[in-house]
Amino acid sequence: MIFKHRYYGQSRVENTVFNTQISFAPDTLRKPVHFTARLARSLPFREAISALHDVVIPDLRIRPKNRAVYFDWLKEQEAGMLADYMAHSGEVREKMTSLQAELAVLRMVKDAKLTPFRQAQRRYFDYLYKENRDAWLVLDPVVTVHPDRLFFECFSRDESTYACLSCSHDIFAQTGEFACGTANIDYSADLYDEFQKIRDYKTTQFSIAAEGFQARTADDPACVETKIDLPDSWMRGFLQAGSAMTMPAHTIELHPMDVYNICLFLRRRKERTGPRAIRFVLMPGRPVKMVFEPWEHEITCPRSRYDGADAAEIRLWGRRRLLTLERLIPIAKRFTVRLLGHGMPSFWIAEMPDMQYTLGLSGWTANDWSRAGQFDLLAPRASVPEAETARVLAALSANWFATEAGLARSTGLPAATIAAALTLLAQTGRAIYDIANRIWRLRELSATPLPQLRFASPREEAAARLLADGPLRVETHKMDRGAYRLQGKLADGRHTCQASLLIDADERLVDGDCQCSFFMRNRLRRGPCEHMLALRQSLAAGKILHTCRNDEP
């Protein structure tokens, strides 16, 4: 995707003895967005905006070790090793022949996958980060101004961590004129250092510059225009994070001291071997218990009680990403944690005075949001006419934010249609679910509507091919509270699989089972398999021969 940005001037922070002026330069090619106010809580805002920076900069991908010392040693020992090799050359050649045959098979398997593409994609980001860091940072920060809130969104370099800072207008002592909307902002490399100079004894003025939208000539030297060929992975990462926010989860509230204990333990211990997970042991009405592997060290949170109805044991990997929450511990009132399941994403919401900071972590660091986690496939997949989707978008645009019930009242559409339309808008970057406040918000991720990436998953394309063969014979089992289970046999030309899936009352896929190898390896951590998707799509498309019966209690 080609993204074009034009900024008039640069984002800047001007510090004097008595005043700090923060000014962001927005993209002038987008709909005018501006905001001006005076901060009432300068230090909490400084810590929260700095925590966003801590998400963008780190890269937790495995890096090759520096082997310079080893190669120096190898050079010294080369003569002796060569003589030893010549003495045993025949035996070595025999071993080499067998190993080369094995390596040839492994190379064929490896080349069949998308490894070259992914490596090239990573090299692109690494090059952009080193050679044009300002342009690289422009890819991530997205600011949205709403009538009640101002929030920033960003992504980590390895695309495994999503962060959003949501600020209520009450954090500002005096708010001037503002225009609602979404825009990219010029976020230079030196801006973070200037943020650290914010102090309580200084008056801090905050603005998203309105002057950037004044008419300027194309040859104005202050007008900076960039054109970036942005990979689909970055855009899909935002959409996957938004889809995961709407999924059902186990919710717990942690005291800030409990989060401090997590960070303290991770700082003091460095694991040398696996497993590297935090195991949450949740018992209704009992304090939350966390077990750190591989040491099996147990931390009980007496201030944090689990109030859910069902007991659960959930493991999370990629735990060192939680260290980005350290700066928020002194200013947070509590942390709300949403655990989607074993090896699934988690959302950590820091509740601060007039601010919420949401940290979204994929299942583990290598399982990034954009590539491995197809969480939009778990969302409602009903087909919605374009006219009804436009009505929902118009109703959401009128107030900038709304609940599903409010949209149903204003449009007169059924709740199921509203849910499916909102999911479609989220998957095209036009809306986002505010997980901290549990409402839907208008957020145009780009200046022009994005193409729907709904069928970017090969599994969904395979499901469409299964449906093309004709209707399926499926059993529908009605469950409690409006949920139902689908079961059926599907043949893909090579194998026949028995698949089943559980759909809740909100048309979300919450559980499933299949006999195929993909599901046996990954369960639902990488989304449903093509057989489960075909089963679900057959019901929506009406290509189903089914028998309905109620499950016995």
By percentage, how much of the chain surpasses pLDDT 90?
A: 17
For 221-324, where are the alpha helices, taking DSSP H only?
Answer: 232-245, 256-268
Q: Which residue has the higher pLDDT, 239 or 245?
A: 245
> Among 56-70, 99-113, 171-185, 367-381, which is the least confidently predicted range?
367-381
Q: Are residues 430 and 534 in the same domain?
A: no
Domain containing residue 432: CATH number:
1.10.10.10
My answer on whether 407 and 371 are in the same domain is: no
Please tell me the distance from the alpha carbon of residue 519 to that of residue 528, in angstroms, as a whole number.
Answer: 7
Domain final position from 355, 377, 399: 377
Bridge partners, residue 298, by sequence: 291
When pLDDT is averaged across residues 260-266 and rounded to a whole number, the result is: 94
- Residue whose C-alpha is closest to residue 239's, from 444, 422, 403, 429: 429
- Name the token pair of 207: 């603005």
pLDDT, residue 29, reads 58
Domain co-membership, 358 together with 263: yes
**Residue 394: how many other CB atoms lie within 10 Å:** 11
Q: What pLDDT, in 10s, does the model give residues 135-194? A: 444 455 778 889 888 888 887 777 788 889 999 988 888 777 788 888 766 655 567 777
Q: Which of 34-48, 62-76, 363-377 has the highest mean pLDDT?
A: 34-48
* Residue 56 neighbours by CB under 8 Å, 6+ apart: 137, 140, 141, 154, 155, 156, 157
Tokens at 249, concatenated? 């989860």
Q: Which of 131-135, 316-320, 374-378 has the lowest mean pLDDT?
A: 131-135
pLDDT band at 379 (very low <50, low <70, confident <90, very high): low
Tell me if residue 15 falls in helix, strand or coil. strand
Q: What is the mean pLDDT of residues 402-427?
A: 88
Q: Render pLDDT for 195-219 as a digit per residue (tens, 0 to 9).
A: 788 888 888 887 876 554 343 434 4
User: Is there a domain that residue 175 lies in?
Assistant: no
Contact present, 279 and 262 (Cβ < 8 Å): no
Torsion over CA: 253, 258, 260, 261 (sign): negative
Highest mean pLDDT among 81-95, 239-253, 385-399, 438-452 belongs to: 385-399
Q: Is 316 a domain residue? A: yes
Domain count, the chain: 3
3-state helix, strand, coil in the chain (%, to 5): 35, 30, 35
Tokens representing 415? 């709740």
Does the pLDDT of residue 479 top 70, yes or no? yes
- pLDDT value at 261 more than 90: yes
Instruction: Give phi and psi for 472, each to the nearest 5.
Output: -110, 150
**Residue (of 222, 139, 210, 130) closest to 177 by Cα position:** 210
Domain housing 273: 242-377
130 versus 312: the higher-pLDDT residue is 312
Q: Give the pLDDT confidence score for residue 227 in this predicted structure.
A: 46
**249 in any annotated domain:** yes
Residue 436: which of 182, 253, 235, 179 has the closest Cα?
253
| Residue 39 CB neighbour total at 10 angstroms | 23
Selected residue with higher pLDDT from 343 and 228: 343
Model confidence at 61, pLDDT cuts 50, 70, 90, reads: low
User: Do 524 and 486 share a structural domain?
Assistant: yes
Q: Are residues 246 and 352 located together in one domain of the fold?
A: yes
Does the residue 384 lie in any domain? yes
Most confident range (mean pLDDT) of 45-59, 244-258, 346-360 is 346-360
Residue 214 lies in a domain: no
Residue 131: pLDDT band (50, 70, 90) is low
What's the pLDDT score for residue 323?
A: 92
Average pLDDT on 217-241 reads 56
pLDDT at residue 225 above 50? no
Identify whether residues 350 and 370 lie together within a single domain: yes
Do 402 and 349 share a structural domain?
Answer: no
CATH number reported for the structural domain that contains residue 341 in this entry: 3.10.150.10
Residue 101: what pLDDT? Answer: 86
Q: Is 351 found in the same domain as 299?
A: yes
- For residues 452-461, give the mean pLDDT: 62
pLDDT the model gives residue 259: 95
- Clarify whether residues 476 and 409 are in a common domain: no
Q: How far apart are CA 552 and CA 295, in angstroms?
A: 44
- Six token digits for residue 117: 């593409």
Phi, psi of 104 (to 5 degrees): -60, -40
Give the whole-angstrom CA distance, residue 112 versus residue 402: 46
Terminal alpha carbon distance of the chain: 51
| CA gap 328, 200 in Å, rounded | 17
96 found inside a domain: no
Q: Do residue 507 and residue 437 come from a single domain?
A: no
User: Residue 213's pLDDT is what?
Assistant: 38
Which residue among 333, 361, 377 closes a domain? 377
H or E, element range at 351: strand 346-352
Structural domain ending residue among the three candidates 362, 377, 392: 377
Q: Does residue 302 have a cis peptide bond before it, meaning omega lies within 30 degrees of 0?
A: no
User: What pLDDT score does 334 carry?
Assistant: 94
Domain for residue 451, yes or no?
A: no
pTM exceeding 0.75 = no
**pLDDT band per the 50, 70, 90 thresholds, residue 30:** low
User: Which of 20-24, 189-193, 423-427 has the highest average model confidence (pLDDT)?
Assistant: 423-427
pLDDT averaged over the chain? Answer: 78
Q: What is the Cα–Cα distance from 274 to 310, expressed in whole angstroms?
A: 29
pLDDT at 214: 41
Cα dihedral value 409, 415, 419, 425, nearest 10: -40
Mean pLDDT of 75-80: 83
**Residue 212's pLDDT is what?**
42
Confidence grade of residue 28 (pLDDT, cut at 50, 70, 90): low
Residue 298 confidence (pLDDT):
94
In single-letter form, the type of residue at position 305 comes to R
Are 267 and 351 part of one and the same domain? yes
Per-residue pLDDT for 240 more than 90?
no
Residue 153 CA: distances (Å) to CA of 177, 445, 448: 22, 10, 19
Lowest mean pLDDT among 145-159, 239-253, 439-453: 439-453
What residues pair up with 303 in beta bridges, in sequence order?
none
Same domain as 467, residue 342: no
Is residue 55 included in any domain, yes or no?
no
Mean local confidence (pLDDT), 460-472: 73
> Is 64's pLDDT higher than 90?
no
Q: Rounded distance, CA 493 to CA 482, Å? A: 35
